[in-house]
């Protein structure tokens, strides 16, 4: 179990990227949702020991992450948002080199590790191909392969499906689901569907603070009977903003569909709609922009 208590990070220019973040992450897939600039990557880098928080405590089992970063790195797998430059060497040779860096000295053990990972990530048939020639999805699967070297107990993936086509995205998410059965996997993303499809627990981070956490199904249930939809003309949007709490807008066939959060019927033309995790997410962001304390309550 990963536990963060009062984690704050202030950059040298005064930017408060994380503000008193407290969070418990159990074994399995855990989704961290938030818009760009919310502080997700800062939080992931901090947990991954790439930067030290200004204040707060982070523990993983019996490891004090801030005081003992080397102990965490021994059991950490990390796929950052920007995985870096892909060298013109083969996938097999690069994984073998990374295994050496991870401390796997035995050539036979490295061979078994590399071959297992290439098969697990469905890269065996392209093992001799230069990584520079991989597609986006293949690169992400290679990124997971390198993150799995050494059988880590904590795996962090930061925006892993951004830019992937639907087929590669599904393949990648299926791989994450398999990995996340017995270890802690943190999926940091702004894509709501990734969390809805994979994660039994989640949190929403905005403006450097945890605004909401819980089980997706229970969070969705908390909005049941409160999300209303209406199709309007574009010129009507501002008028509706003045009278309603609009949580999302979407253009469809030249018209605008708005979703409103309300405990009572908001008026003519509105119809009750079945809320989803996207409505939970957008309503949380809407309220957090007004006041961090106004976000939806935690679900059990």
Q: How far apart are CA 280 and CA 282, in angstroms?
A: 6
Residues 86 and 117 placed together within one structural domain of the fold: yes
Domains in the chain: how many in total?
Answer: 2
* The predicted structure's pLDDT at residue 85: 59
- Identify the domain boundary among 167, 196, 216: 216
**Phi-psi sector, 158: left (phi>0), alpha (psi -120 to 50), beta:** beta
- Same domain, yes or no: 18 and 166: yes
CATH number assigned to the domain comprising residue 165 = 3.40.50.300
Domain range for 173 is 2-216
Pair 52, 87 in one domain: yes
Regarding whether 203 and 55 lie in a shared domain, the answer is: yes
Considering the domain architecture, whether residues 212 and 224 belong to the same structural domain is answered as no
For the chain, list the strands marked E by DSSP: 2-10, 16-25, 28-33, 55-60, 63-64, 76-79, 154-158, 184-189, 201-206, 209-214, 227-232, 246-252, 255-261, 271-272
Domain boundary, last residue among 163, 193, 216: 216
83 and 139 in contact (C-beta within 8 Å)?
Answer: yes
Of 216, 232, 250, the last residue of a domain is 216
The per-residue pLDDT of the chain, averaged, comes to: 90
Question: What pLDDT score does 136 carry?
Answer: 85
User: How confident is the model at residue 81, as a pLDDT?
Assistant: 80
pLDDT of residue 300: 36
* Residues 180, 108 within the same domain: yes
Q: Residue 290 has what pLDDT?
A: 73
- Entry pTM: 0.86
pLDDT the model gives residue 266: 93
**Quick one: 207 and 241 in the same domain?**
no
Q: Which phi and psi (to 5°) does residue 247 adopt?
A: -100, -20
Looking at the structure, do residues 201 and 227 belong to the same domain, yes or no? no
Q: Going residue by residue through the chain, which has 300 residues, state the pLDDT in tens, using 9 for 90 and above.
A: 999 999 999 999 999 999 999 999 999 999 999 998 899 999 999 999 999 999 999 999 999 999 999 999 999 999 988 776 567 899 999 999 999 988 898 999 999 999 999 998 999 999 999 998 998 888 888 999 999 999 999 999 988 887 788 888 888 888 888 888 889 999 999 889 889 888 999 999 999 999 999 999 999 998 989 999 999 998 899 999 998 989 999 998 888 999 999 999 999 999 999 889 999 999 999 888 876 444 444 433
Is 103 in a helix, a strand, or coil? coil
């Amino acid at each position: 179990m990963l536990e963060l208590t009062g984690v704050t990070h202030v950059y040298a220019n005064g930017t408060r990227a994380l503000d008193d973040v407290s969070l418990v992450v159990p074994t399995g897939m855990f989704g961290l949702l938030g818009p760009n600039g919310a502080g997700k990557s800062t939080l992931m880098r901090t947990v991954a020991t790439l930067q030290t928080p200004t204040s707060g405590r982070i523990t993983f089992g019996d490891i004090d992450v801030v005081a003992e970063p080397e102990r965490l790195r021994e059991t950490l797998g990390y796929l950052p948002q920007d995985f870096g430059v892909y060298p013109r060497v083969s996938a097999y040779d690069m994984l073998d080199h990374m295994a050496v860096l991870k401390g796997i000295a035995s050539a036979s053990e490295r061979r078994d590790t590399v071959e297992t990972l290439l098969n697990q990530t469905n890269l065996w048939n392209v093992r001799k191909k230069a990584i520079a020639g991989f597609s986006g999805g293949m690169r992400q699967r290679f990124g997971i392969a390198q993150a799995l070297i050494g059988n880590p107990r904590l795996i962090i993936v930061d925006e892993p499906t951004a830019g992937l086509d639907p087929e590669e995205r599904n393949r990648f998410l299926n791989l994450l689901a398999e990995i996340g059965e017995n270890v802690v996997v943190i999926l940091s993303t702004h894509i709501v569907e990734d969390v809805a499809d994979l994660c039994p627990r989640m949190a929403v981070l905005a403006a450097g603070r945890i605004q909401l956490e819980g089980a997706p199904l229970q969070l969705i249930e908390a909005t049941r009977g409160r999300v209303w939809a209406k199709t309007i003309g574009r010129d009507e949007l501002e008028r509706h903003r003045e009278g309603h709490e609009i949580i999302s807008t979407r253009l469809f066939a030249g018209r605008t569909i708005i979703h409103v959060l309300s405990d009572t019927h908001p008026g003519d033309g509105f119809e009750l709609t079945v809320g989803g995790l996207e409505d939970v997410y957008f309503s949380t962001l809407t309220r957090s922009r007004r006041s961090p304390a106004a976000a939806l309550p935690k679900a059990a």
